[in-house]
């Protein structure tokens, strides 16, 4: 009578099957796919409802925001947004004088613009000899002598041909610039209509804003600029503006 031999207990270890790796690989692959998918969903949820990172490629908000800077925009500053969309389902509050807002460009909603709120509904806004007149009163300005603020605006701008001022609107004091070789762009008094806002760039002579294309409707607002989290200057070594990192925007 033959004796049935039993395989050693560690036979599977000594002689692994060639396809034993497949279940482990599938499990590993599945876990990573799920992890990545969840991360993407959370990121899009965060971006559309809490804070949205934005890159600033133009100089219309110089010197407050410089070319090549990256900012975070508070998406819930004015509205509660439907997740994964740009649509708001409830208002929180309205922008105030001096707020820096991000909005859909009224003439082309595929583009997002960033400007400063100068006029709110009911305000009368006028521009005369490069001065902003709000409700009959000229916004206070003071010429600043600190040229170092403008040095990293090269090569697009020549700092010696720029006037730097500090302007006050409401409770906000901020820098603005004028190009000395650019003539004044006057605008007659205009009354800001309901549910609309008059906005301007801080780089007053190099900004396409409400002076040229009109008002920003309330429903076009996306959020309020919060802070600069990264600043890159492609024209000047060492290229990174470390002193601009995590600068709050006002």
Query: Would you kindly state where each structural domain of the chain is located, as residue ranges?
Result: 21-248
| Residue 184 scores a pLDDT above 50 | yes
- Tokens 């300005």, located at residue: 141
CB distance 219 to 60 below 8 Å:
no
Better-predicted residue by pLDDT, 37 or 56: 56
pLDDT at position 232 is 86
Question: Which whole number is the average pLDDT over 221-232?
Answer: 94
Find the DSSP H helices in 129-207. none
Lowest-pLDDT range of 17-31, 63-77, 187-201, 206-220: 17-31
**pLDDT, tens only, 43-72:** 555 566 667 888 998 999 999 999 889 999
- For the chain, how are helix, strand and coil distributed in percent, rounded to 5? 20, 35, 40
The confidence score (pLDDT) of residue 17 equals 56
Strands 51-56 and 69-74: antiparallel
Residue scoring higher pLDDT (1 or 205): 205
Instruction: Name the phi and psi angles at 135, rounded to 5.
Output: 55, 40
Q: Are strands 141-143 and 137-138 parallel, antiparallel or unpaired?
A: unpaired
Q: CB under 8 Å to 82, separation ≥6 — which residues?
A: 48, 88, 89
Q: Which residue has the higher pLDDT, 50 or 162?
A: 162
Structure tokens at 99: 């707020």
The residues annotated with a catalytic role in the active site are 60, 115
CATH architecture of 21-248: Ribbon (2.10)
Instruction: Look up the pTM and report it.
Output: 0.81
Q: Which of 42-51, 52-61, 81-90, 228-237 has maximum average pLDDT?
A: 52-61
Quick one: which of 82, 56, 88 has its CA closest to 71?
56
Q: Who wins on pLDDT, 206 or 45?
A: 206
Whether pLDDT at 16 is above 80: no
How many other CB atoms sit within 10 Å of the CB of residue 236? 13
pLDDT band at 139 (very low <50, low <70, confident <90, very high): very high
**Omega within 30 of 0 (cis) for the link into 15:** no
């Amino acid at each position: 009578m033959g004796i049935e031999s039993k395989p050693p207990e560690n036979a599977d270890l000594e002689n692994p099957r060639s396809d034993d790796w497949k279940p482990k690989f599938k499990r590993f692959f599945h876990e990573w796919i799920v992890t990545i998918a969840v991360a993407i969903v959370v990121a899009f949820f965060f971006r559309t409802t809490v804070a949205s990172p934005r890159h600033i490629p133009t100089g219309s908000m110089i010197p407050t925001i410089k070319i090549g800077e990256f900012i975070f925009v508070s998406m819930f500053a004015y509205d509660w947004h439907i997740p994964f969309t740009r649509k708001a389902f409830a208002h929180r509050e309205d922008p105030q004088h001096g707020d820096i807002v991000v909005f859909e460009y009224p003439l082309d909603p595929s583009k997002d613009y960033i400007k400063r709120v100068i006029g709110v509904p009911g305000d009368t806004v006028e521009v005369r000899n490069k001065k902003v007149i709000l409700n009959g009163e000229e916004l206070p300005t003071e010429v600043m002598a600190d040229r170092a603020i403008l040095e990293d605006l090269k090569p697009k701008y020549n700092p010696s041909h720029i006037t730097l001022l500090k302007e006050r609107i409401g409770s906000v004091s901020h820098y603005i610039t004028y190009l000395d070789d650019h003539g004044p762009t006057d605008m007659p008094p205009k009354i800001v209509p309901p549910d609309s806002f008059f906005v301007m760039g801080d780089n007053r002579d190099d900004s396409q804003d409400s002076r040229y294309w009109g008002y920003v409707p309330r429903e076009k607002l996306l959020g309020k600029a919060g802070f600069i989290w990264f600043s890159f200057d492609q024209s000047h070594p060492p290229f990174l503006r470390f002193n601009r990192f995590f600068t709050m925007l006002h």
